[in-house]
Structure 1
Amino acid sequence: MESARPPPMLTSDEARALHIANGDIKRPGHLIALSATFFGIAATCVGLRLYARIALRRRVNVDDGFIVLALLFLVGSLVTYIQEENWGMGYHASTLTPNEIIHFFHAFWAMLWCYCGCLACVKLSLLFQYRKIFGNRASRFRIVANVLIIVIGLSGLWTVLSGVFICWPISYLWTRQGDGKCMQTWPLFIGNAVLNIITDLIVFLSPIPLLSRLHLPLRQKIILMAIFLTGFFVIIISCIRLGIFVRTNGATDFSWEQITLGSWSFVECAVAIVCASVPALKPLVVHIFPKLASTFASRTVDFEASGESHNKLKKINTDVETGPNGSVGLFAQGGEEEHKWLDHTERLKSVQGRVQIVTAVDTDVDKK
Structure 2
Amino acid sequence: MSWITPEYLSQSRDYAPTVAIIFVCVFTTLVVLVRCYARIFSTKRFGLDDVLAVSSNVLYIAFVFLCVILIKEGSGRHIEYIQYVLTPDQVNLTEINDFAAHIIYTTALFVCRMSGLSFYHHLCDRHQRLLTVIKCAAVFLICAYLPQLFLLIFHCLPVTGLWPYAWQAESADFTCITWGAVYSVNSGLSLVCDVILFAIPVTMIRLLQVSLSRKIKLSFVLLPGVAVIIISIVRLYLVIVGQWADDGSWPYGPMLAIESAEIGGTLIALSVPALKPLFGSIFAKFTGTFHGSVKQSGTFNSTSRRTDGLPSSGNGRSFGSRGNIYENYGDLPAGWRGDTLQHERKTTDSSTDTRVGSGVGERVGFKKMDSNEDLLEDRELSHQGSASDFRVQVQKEFKFESNAIPLRPL
- Residue aligning to 2:397: none
**How has the CA–CA distance of structure 1 residues 185 and 172 changed in structure 2, closer, same or farther, with 3 Å as cutoff?**
same
Asked if structure 2 preserves the Cα contact closer than 8 Å seen for 1:112 and 1:160, the reply is no
Query: How many residue pairs are counted as aligned between the two chains?
Result: 323
The correspondence for 1:348, drawn from 332, 336, 340, is 340
Q: Are residues 1:90 and 2:76 paired?
A: yes
Answer 1 or 2: which has greater helix percent. Answer: 1
Match of 2:408 in 1: 363
In structure 2, the CA distance between the partners of 1:362 and 1:283, relative to structure 1 (3 Å rule), is farther
Contact 2:14 2:253 (C-alpha < 8 Å) held by counterparts: yes
Alignment of 1:220-299 (within 5 A): 220-251=214-245, 253=247, 255-286=249-280, 292=285, 295-297=288-290
Contact 2:60–2:105 (CA under 8 A) maintained in structure 1: yes
CA deviation vs aligned residue, 1:119-175 (integer Å, no higher than 9, x gap): 212211111111111121x61111221121121122123323322333332244368
- SS of 1:349 mapped into structure 2: strand
- Quick check: 149-158 or 75-84, which moved more? 149-158
Distance in structure 2 (CA, Å) of the matches to 1:144 and 1:178: 47
Q: Secondary structure at the match of 1:58?
A: coil
Please name the residue that 1:124 is paired with.
Answer: 114
Q: Which residue of 2 aligns with 1:106?
A: 96
TM-score, scaled to structure 2 = 0.68
CA–CA distance in structure 1, aligned partners of residues 246 and 314 of structure 2 = 69
2:219 alignment partner AA: M
**Structure 1 residue aligned with 2:401:** none
- The answer for the alignment partner of 1:207 in structure 2 is 201
Q: Matches of 2:135 and 2:365 in 1, distance apart?
A: 32
Post-superposition CA distance 1:261-292 (Å, at most 9, x none): 212111222112111111211111117x5975
Matches within 5 A, 1:269-348: 269-286=263-280, 292=285, 295-297=288-290, 303=301, 317-318=311-312, 347-348=339-340
Q: Which amino acid aligns with 1:112?
A: H
> Per-residue deviation at 1:220?
2.7
Find the counterpart in structure 2 of residue 43 from structure 1.
29
Task: Measure the CA separation in 2 of the matches of 1:361 and 1:86.
Answer: 51
- When residues 5 and 161 of structure 1 are mapped into structure 2, their CA distance, relative to the original with a 3 A threshold, is farther
**Stretch moving more, 222-231 or 242-251:** 242-251
Q: What is the CA distance between 1:364 and its match in structure 2?
A: 4.1
Counterparts in 2 of 1:160 and 1:88: CA distance versus 1, 3 Å: same
Partner deviation per Cα, 1:291-319 (whole Å, 9 max, x = no partner): 759822499x9849xxxxxxxx9966348
Secondary structure, in 3 states, of the residue corresponding to 2:278?
helix
Question: What are structure 1's unaligned runs of at least 5 residues?
Answer: 7-17, 305-312, 322-327, 334-345
Conserved? CA contact 1:319–1:331, under 8 Å: no
Q: Contact 2:301–2:330 at 8 Å: present in 1 too?
A: no
Report the Cα offset of residue 98 of structure 1.
0.5
Distance 1:117 1:302, change over 3 A: closer
> What aligned pairs does 1:143-154 form with structure 2 within 5 A after superposition?
143-154=132-143
Report Cα offsets for 1:13-41 as digits up to 9, x if no partner: xxxxx44x248622323222111111111
Sequence identity percentage: 20
Radius of gyration: which is bigger? 2
CA distance in 2, matches of 1:251, 1:42: 32
Q: Under a length normalisation based on structure 1, what TM-score does the superposition of the two structures give?
A: 0.75
What is the rounded CA distance, in whole Å, between the counterparts of 1:123 and 1:315 in structure 2?
39
Structure 1 residue 34 corresponds to structure 2 residue 20 = yes
TM superposition shift of 1:191? 1.4
Once the 2 structures are TM-superposed, how far is the Cα of residue 331 of structure 1 from its aligned partner?
11
User: Cα RMSD (Å) of the superposition?
Assistant: 3.8
Moved more, 98-107 or 356-365: 356-365
Secondary structure of 1:224's partner? Answer: helix
